[in-house]
Amino acid sequence: MKYILYSFFFLLLLSCSKTESNIGVPSAPHKKHTVIIYAIADNNLYNYAEKNIQAIEKCWYNSFNWNFVVVLDAPDYAIRKRPSVFKIEKPNNIEILPNNPNFDTTDKFTMKNIISDIKKQYPSDKYTLILWSHATAWLPNNYELEQNRNISTKSFGKNKEKELSIFDLEEIIPDNSFETIIFDACFMSSVEVLYQLRNKSKYTIASTAEILQTGFPYKELTLQLFDESKSPIDWAKSYFDYYNSQKGIYKSATISVIHNQYFKELETIMKKISIKEKNHIIINTQNIQKYDRLRESIFYDFYNYIEQFNLDNSKLNELKSILDKLVIYKANTETFAKKIIINKHSGLSTYILSDRTPKILLDEYKKYSWYNLLNTKWYLSICEKRFNPYFLFSILKGGIKYNMKK
């Protein structure tokens, strides 16, 4: 989900047929870097998607060294043909895939074919994938979080009534196919999501909290992406520096760069903790840093959560050392939307299970590799109170209203 700003009222926005892409452009010369932005914007975020693409176009200059390919799905009223697949070029973009009204960006077979074909058509030393849309991390699609505020979920993407799950993304994206994946979408720096997708790229850039509807500053990001002296850390810094320089509610950002190979080390320490610390700890979640503005929070700081276990210093230090290698960059503004004070930020969020977790959420959570890695009842029983017993959940069709993008 992205965070859309409406004066003082905040609403949480919840940013298929099998289709072959049939990209017909002759294979391009080999280049150093190809960036693919996959924007699912046939929703209330379209205007911001268009502004982001225009920002890329304005600062773009033709080069023999790189490509920027856009996959855009948009509403019927969009100024571009929909859906669109094109390579940014001056004076005119190059249409890669002819307009096809049956093209569905939330169909996993279509998405897989499109990404595969783009990579074949534009051979490069490295590839970056930007996933742009609404998102709510690991939560199941179309799930109502707060009934009376019309707040519902979507794992990733929102195209009318269709969405993609994290498991769809896991199936769509081949292992080791991108050097970096950037989530221009809310809440995707959750340990559950990142661990599930850990084999897809060397680095992942994502936010523990929401992302403003304006998304990444694409003028600054584009210049960084194709500067060989810049790294994913620099890309993330450009995001943080942009929002940290804003005023009022716009001064809201969290961002992390994850070096995915170090999840192996995190696995080891978490298994040690889960074996030793099961079933004997009462945790007050009010003491843990949260990243959402829900009445009953979903996204808590990962390290701050583990700190509540009263581990000995050696084990905490070991965990911190591993997190320093895993999360190679993290930054946050002091507050988010002037609603959340951020005192602690490990760069990862997590969900906290309890005996009050609704069955539908528990069943979904158990599908994730992170839960199965721990595979102990301690993860379910250590929380004192997680949900209001009268907290109602139901399937909901439709979007959300919040001042957030994704």
pLDDT band at 242 (very low <50, low <70, confident <90, very high): very high
SS3 sequence, the chain? CEECCECCECCCCCCCCCCCCCCCCCCCCCEEEEEEEEEECCCCCHHHHHHHHHHHHHHCCCCCCEEEEEEEECCCCCCCCCCEEEECCCCCCEEEECCCCCCCCCCHHHHHHHHHHHHHHCCEEEEEEEEECCECCCCCCCEEEEHHHCEECCCEEEECCEEECHHHHHHHCCCCCEEEEEEECCCCCEHHHHHHCCCCEEEEEECCCCEECCCCCHHHHHHHHCCCCCCHHHHHHHHHHHHHCCCHHHCCCEEEEEEHHHHHHHHHHHHHHHHHCCCCCCECHHHCCECCCCCCCCCEEHHHHHHCCCCCHHHHHHHHHHHHHHEEEEEECCEECCCEECCCCCCCEECCCCCCCCHHHHHHHCCCHHHHHHCCCHHHHCECCCCCCCCCCCECCCCCCCCEEC
Q: Which candidate, 158, 154, 131, 155, places its Cα nearest to that of 41? A: 158
Q: Which candidate, 130, 99, 92, places its Cα nearest to that of 21? A: 99
Architecture field, domain 2-20+29-262:
3-Layer(aba) Sandwich (3.40)
The pLDDT of 297-306, averaged and rounded, is 93
> In whole angstroms, what is the distance from residue 41 CA to residue 60 CA?
22
How confident is the model at residue 145, as a pLDDT? 56
Give the position of tokens 């040690």.
Answer: 272
Has residue 17 got a pLDDT over 80?
Answer: no
Q: Which amino acid is at 227?
A: D
How confident is the model at residue 148, as a pLDDT? 44
Phi/psi of residue 359, each to 5°? -55, -40
How confident is the model at residue 19, as a pLDDT? 47
Q: Where are the domains of the chain?
A: 2-20+29-262, 264-326+346-381
Tokens in use for 176?
Answer: 């080791």
pLDDT band at 382 (very low <50, low <70, confident <90, very high): very low
How confident is the model at residue 373, as a pLDDT? 83
Q: Are 82 and 42 in contact (CB under 8 A)?
A: yes
Give the position of tokens 């804003």.
Answer: 246
Q: Are 87 and 68 in contact (CB under 8 A)?
A: yes
Has residue 10 got a pLDDT over 70?
Answer: no
Tokens in use for 129?
Answer: 């994938």
Tell me the percentage of the chain whose pLDDT exceeds 70: 78
Tell me the percentage of the chain whose pLDDT exceeds 90: 51
pLDDT band at 375 (very low <50, low <70, confident <90, very high): low
Q: Are 136 and 1 in contact (CB under 8 A)?
A: yes
How confident is the model at residue 106, as a pLDDT? 86
Contacts of 148 (CB under 8 A, 6+ apart): none
Has residue 1 got a pLDDT over 80?
Answer: no
The pLDDT of 312-317, averaged and rounded, is 90
Has residue 279 got a pLDDT over 90?
Answer: no
Q: Which candidate, 201, 245, 202, places its Cα nearest to that of 220? A: 245
Poorest-pLDDT segment among 19-33, 40-54, 178-192: 19-33
Has residue 168 got a pLDDT over 50?
Answer: yes
The pLDDT of 376-392, averaged and rounded, is 40
Has residue 243 got a pLDDT over 80?
Answer: yes
Q: Is 74 exposed, middle or buried (0-12, 13-18, 19+ CB in 10 A)?
A: buried
The string of pLDDT tens digits covering residues 35-79 is 999 999 888 888 999 999 999 999 888 776 899 999 998 887 888
How confident is the model at residue 309, as a pLDDT? 81
pLDDT band at 399 (very low <50, low <70, confident <90, very high): very low
Give 376 or 185, the one with higher predicted confidence. Answer: 185
Contacts of 20 (CB under 8 A, 6+ apart): 110, 113
How confident is the model at residue 396, as a pLDDT? 23
Has residue 147 got a pLDDT over 90?
Answer: no
> In whole angstroms, what is the distance from residue 384 CA to residue 281 CA?
9
Tokens in use for 57?
Answer: 């176009």
Has residue 149 got a pLDDT over 70?
Answer: no
How many of the other CB atoms lie within 10 Å of CB of 29? 9
Has residue 386 got a pLDDT over 90?
Answer: no
How many of the other CB atoms lie within 10 Å of CB of 140? 19
> In whole angstroms, what is the distance from residue 202 CA to residue 180 CA?
6
Give 285 or 300, the one with higher predicted confidence. Answer: 300
How confident is the model at residue 388, as a pLDDT? 34
Q: Which amino acid is at 328?
A: I
